[in-house]
Each structure stands twice: as C-alpha cells, then as structure tokens.
Structure 1
C-alpha cells in the first residue's frame, strides 16, 4: 500500500500558520512539502511545488491549467516518501484551499485539482472557526494587508456580494460535502479551532489521528496572533486610506504577489513587478509606524461591532449549516459557541 497522503486545507485565521510551522514540519513521521517547509512561513520544498500551490491551484483558469505538469511536480516527493522507512505520510498545506480571495478560481475547482494530484484516500485536515469570530479576525488580517474600509463596509461587502466572495464558503457543511465527495467522508478530519483554546493537546492529537501517525507531544505556538491593541489596527486602517497597497488596490490587481515569485521568474521569465514587491514590503514599516503613532497620538479601538441586521441575516445562513456540520462530524458545536438557531 502507498504511504498515506494528507492536505491541510485551512480555513484562514484558524491556526493555519501554527499548524504549518509548529506541527506538520516537526512531526518525525511526516514528509511535509509545505506551506511551512522546514518551519519557514510561505515556503514549499521546491519551486515546482511552490508554483502549483500558490499559482496553478489558486489562479489559473482551465485553458492555462496543466494537470499533468501539476501532478508531476509532486511525484518526486511521493516517491521519496515511499522510499523513506521513517515516513508514514506525505502532504501539503494551504489555507486557501477552502477559501476564495479576490480573483482566485472557485474552491470546487481547487478541490478537484487537489484530488487529481493526491488521489482518493488522502486525509483532509479541515480546521474551522465560529463564523462571527472568523469574520472579525479575517477583517483585521485584511487591514494588516492594506484594506482601508471599516468593519461595516467589510461586512456589507461580505453579505451583499456573497455571489463572488467568502460568505458561503463559511457554510462549513458545504465544504465538508465537497471534500467528502471527492476523498471520502472517512478521510475528512474536521477540527474546530476552538478546541485549540480549550485543549491544545487534544487539538494536536486529533490532527495526528486523522492522518494516521503517532500522537505528537508538541506545543502549538501562536504565530500569527492579533496585534497588541485594537487601536493599532485603526491606525493601520487610516494609513491604508492614505497609501494604497495590496487589499487597497483596485479589485483586478492580485494580492500577495511575493507568493507568486516562481510564476513570474520561472514561467514568465520576469522579475516580480516592482510595485507588487513594494506592496509586500510596505506592510512592516506601516505596522511599525502605526504602533509608534499609537503611543503618541492614540486612536480609538477599531470598531468590530456587527451591524445588527447583518447578524440576523448571517445567523439565518450559518445556523442551519452548523447544525448539519454537527450531524456530519459528531462535534458538539453548541458547546463551542456556534450559532445553532
């Protein structure tokens, strides 16, 4: 029998960076090709895998997508895992496999492409989070990446334009159905993010059990945590209003272009465009400047209050989904504060 394969599909803001840096590359029985290869954020084992994971899988339309080339990028690593007696499973991680941002392809297309590469019995590590908490955390992450809008604007966009954004992708029962339909329900390892807060050891063990490797006794480091004060986020948001970059750029422009380095350099034969590289590197001085400004001229905490009308509408959308997910997984989601009615 071939070695077990696994794919960690996210969600974003659900300890993905900690899983990618602390757990998957550290486990002695795993051959982890990335994200988090050798405990490096946004790194994969080689350029070919990087390009498939960050460009082909996420952005390429069908006329450009080369399924044979994408699969071939992983074959040497599948073979290396088979040849290593210490390895029990080989796999990949990206929080974008359960989530669509900007001009990415649909999550259904991503899942089908992953299935064509990894095969039927692959373990799907599916970490989710109570939707209102997830939306708040996602908003502050987008602010860090250049989004200048208020939380109210963000939530209005989420609800009003759910035909093209992440709103319905947070109906977790649908994501469970998608990956269960391709890989088998018995292979979907569903883990609530809240379990990490309640019992870190149980969180790690649940993922290890899902993959089928020894239970690791690892401490999950909180790597992509919220900033020191919500006032700093308001300072960053105000910076973003003045200086457009990444999520503040026009809609048709891509985000996180440094993650597309291999596509620009190896496929197109060009350097990462200067303005896109500038977008990526401007985050650090903006955050530092916001923290310094907050010390001298404090801004109020960024407003993360949900408009009441949207809470009612989103609850009507997410509560039935949560009830069904609890039935699918056997997890008591009500105990973790999920809306169930």
Structure 2
C-alpha cells in the first residue's frame, strides 16, 4: 500500500515545504550553524529538529524498527508551520554523517533513512581539512571521557569486527558526498569546506541560501568556542581512565558521576595559568604527530572531492 504522506514532489499530497538536512561532518561549525543561522527566521530558516530529535529518529532507532512514515508524521506539523511562515524547515546534526569514533559504520544506512523519509530534501555537507579534523576529533574524544592515547586512538584494535572503531577512510569525503548526490540528485546537495566558513562566512552562507532560493543575508556574528589545550586534555586523559564513564570509556576503575564537568573546569583553569610557551609546545607536538600519521593518504581523495564539489580544496590547505 502506498504511503499517502510520502512526498514525490513539493506540494503533492499536501506535503509542506522541502526541508534542508545538514548532516555535518563533526567539528565543522555545526553548533554555530544551529545556534546562529538555522534558528534565524529573518534569514529564512526554522530549526524543526536539532541534535536530540534527529539522533533519536534517524540514528537511535533499531534498523528493523525504523519507519519513515512515522518520521514524517512526527515532523509534519512543525514543517507545515514553517512552510506557512515562508521558512525552510531544517534538520541538523553532525551525527547524520556518521560517528568518527566508530568509523562511520552507519553513514550509508543513515543516508538511506533520510532518503526514505524526505526524498525531496536538500542536503548540506560540511567538511574539514583532515589533519585539522583528526586533531579536533581526538580532542573532543578526550573531552567526552576517552582514555586512549593519540596513537592508540588512531590505531584502534579492530579485533574481529566486534565493535566499530576509528577509520582513516571515514574522512575520504567523496564517498559520502557522492552517495548523497546519487540519492537526492547532484543539484540538491551542497558540500562546503569549513575553512570557507571561517574565512569568508558571507560566501559560505550565500551558497546555502542560493541552494534554497532564499535572499542573500549577512552571517550572524558570534564568539567561537575556545577548545582546551592539548596539554590540559592530555592530563585529563589520565583522570578519564580512572573516573569518567562514557560510551567511549565504559569501564573506568572508579566511576564518579558528574566528575567530567569538574574536569572541564579544571582544564580551563589550567589553561589560564599555564605558561603559553608550554601550551604551544604540546600543541605543536600533537600537530606534528598528526602530520606524520596522515602523510599523503588523502591526496587522491581530496582531488576527487574537489572535482565533485566544484571547489579547489588546495586553496584551503588540503593536501
């Protein structure tokens, strides 16, 4: 039986305006977009689903329990209200691109779920130079409670496929971008480098509004979050091993609920008083390590991605 709510073209069967789905990647300004752009009705957006509902409906549900008609029913009212106000409904969560900590094992399955629920969606993909990306992802891993050293994190024991782990090829962006283009149509998928957002935010936002047929708008200004230093996070890693329980570190020796917030505050205080030269030295050590580990493994991938998205990634420091 045909689902009466399944859209084939905008406006058919009373379906509301086409959504924009922002899938990440991680560490590419997603929080800034969610808190400053996708909530701005003056630009033309309505954030109908941020991280929590997106993660629940598109990632958290068991594969055998996912039902696209239920997803459409859940968001139909909010999408309809957005359309009635002339706004583009937005779904945004970097987890839609997959988890870098699990090698993007469900990236393709998540794309299939999105296509089943909203086949007429427009897709925004944001990418980042891989060495910078890997360093930022590892720092986030430590902030959440991870206990592996940098080398251990990048060279995770895969065992016999028991659990997903970090994979370098997760950051070969052409695979995911190409798959979304095959699902939604090349004209409906926009992929942009995070570095464009940092250096030319008006152009970055203009490309998004252009995809959606919205008027040009000035990007909102806001402060960037300051990440804890490599040194303070290296110290936190020792505490994580013993105290912090998280999905990335499920069995600390002495679990202390709530301790992670205390450790975050300690990192900030440490960075405020530690000698700047010492912090820079440790940061440089991690960058050098990433450079050595990554080498030229992404050169071919970045050339393909550049061609695929129409952007010369070398202009933004990609290998």
Per-residue CA deviations over 1:16-72 (Å, capped at 9, x if unaligned) read 10011011101422222131xxxxxx56xxxxxx2xx12231133322223322221
Report the 3-state secondary structure (helix = DSSP H, G, I; strand = E; otherwise coil) of the residue aligned with 2:60.
coil
Separation (CA, whole Å) in 2 of partners of 1:191 and 1:67: 28
Q: CA deviation at 1:103?
A: 10
User: Could you say which residue in structure 2 is the equivalent of 1:269?
Assistant: none
Separation (CA, whole Å) in 2 of partners of 1:10 and 1:158: 26
User: Could you say which residue in structure 1 is the equivalent of 2:261?
Assistant: 284
CA gap of 1:310–1:163, structure 2 versus 1, over 3 A, is farther
Greater relative CO, 1 or 2 (CA 8 Å, sep 6+): 1
Per-residue CA deviations over 1:248-297 (Å, capped at 9, x if unaligned) read 5239x9xxxxxxxxxxxxxxxxxxxxx8xx76x43321111234456678
User: Could you say which residue in structure 1 is the equivalent of 2:7?
Assistant: none
CA gap of 1:98–1:232, structure 2 versus 1, over 3 A, is same
Contact (CA 8 Å) 1:158, 1:166: kept in 2 or not?
no
Report the 3-state secondary structure (helix = DSSP H, G, I; strand = E; otherwise coil) of the residue aligned with 1:4.
coil
Separation (CA, whole Å) in 1 of partners of 2:157 and 2:174: 19
Count of residue pairs the alignment pairs up: 293
User: Could you say which residue in structure 2 is the equivalent of 1:39?
Assistant: none
Q: Which is further off, 285-294 or 191-200?
A: 285-294
Separation (CA, whole Å) in 1 of partners of 2:232 and 2:273: 12
Contact (CA 8 Å) 1:7, 1:125: kept in 2 or not?
yes
TM-score normalised over the length of structure 1: 0.76
Contact (CA 8 Å) 1:127, 1:190: kept in 2 or not?
yes
User: Could you say which residue in structure 2 is the equivalent of 1:112?
Assistant: 112
User: Could you say which residue in structure 2 is the equivalent of 1:337?
Assistant: 317
Q: Which is further off, 298-307 or 53-62?
A: 298-307
TM-score normalised over the length of structure 2: 0.81
Separation (CA, whole Å) in 1 of partners of 2:28 and 2:55: 19
Separation (CA, whole Å) in 2 of partners of 1:63 and 1:124: 25
Listed as ranges, the gaps of 5+ residues in structure 1 are: 36-41, 44-49, 254-274
Separation (CA, whole Å) in 2 of partners of 1:175 and 1:104: 10
1:151 aligns with 2:134: no
Separation (CA, whole Å) in 1 of partners of 2:272 and 2:89: 47
Report the 3-state secondary structure (helix = DSSP H, G, I; strand = E; otherwise coil) of the residue aligned with 2:70.
helix
Contact (CA 8 Å) 2:243, 2:259: kept in 1 or not?
no
Report the 3-state secondary structure (helix = DSSP H, G, I; strand = E; otherwise coil) of the residue aligned with 1:334.
helix
CA gap of 1:115–1:224, structure 2 versus 1, over 3 A, is farther
CA gap of 1:159–1:328, structure 2 versus 1, over 3 A, is farther
Separation (CA, whole Å) in 2 of partners of 1:6 and 1:111: 14
Report the 3-state secondary structure (helix = DSSP H, G, I; strand = E; otherwise coil) of the residue aligned with 1:246.
coil
Contact (CA 8 Å) 1:173, 1:325: kept in 2 or not?
yes
Contact (CA 8 Å) 1:23, 1:220: kept in 2 or not?
no
Listed as ranges, the gaps of 5+ residues in structure 2 are: 1-9, 12-16
Given candidates 29, 32, 46, the residue that maps to 1:15 is: 29
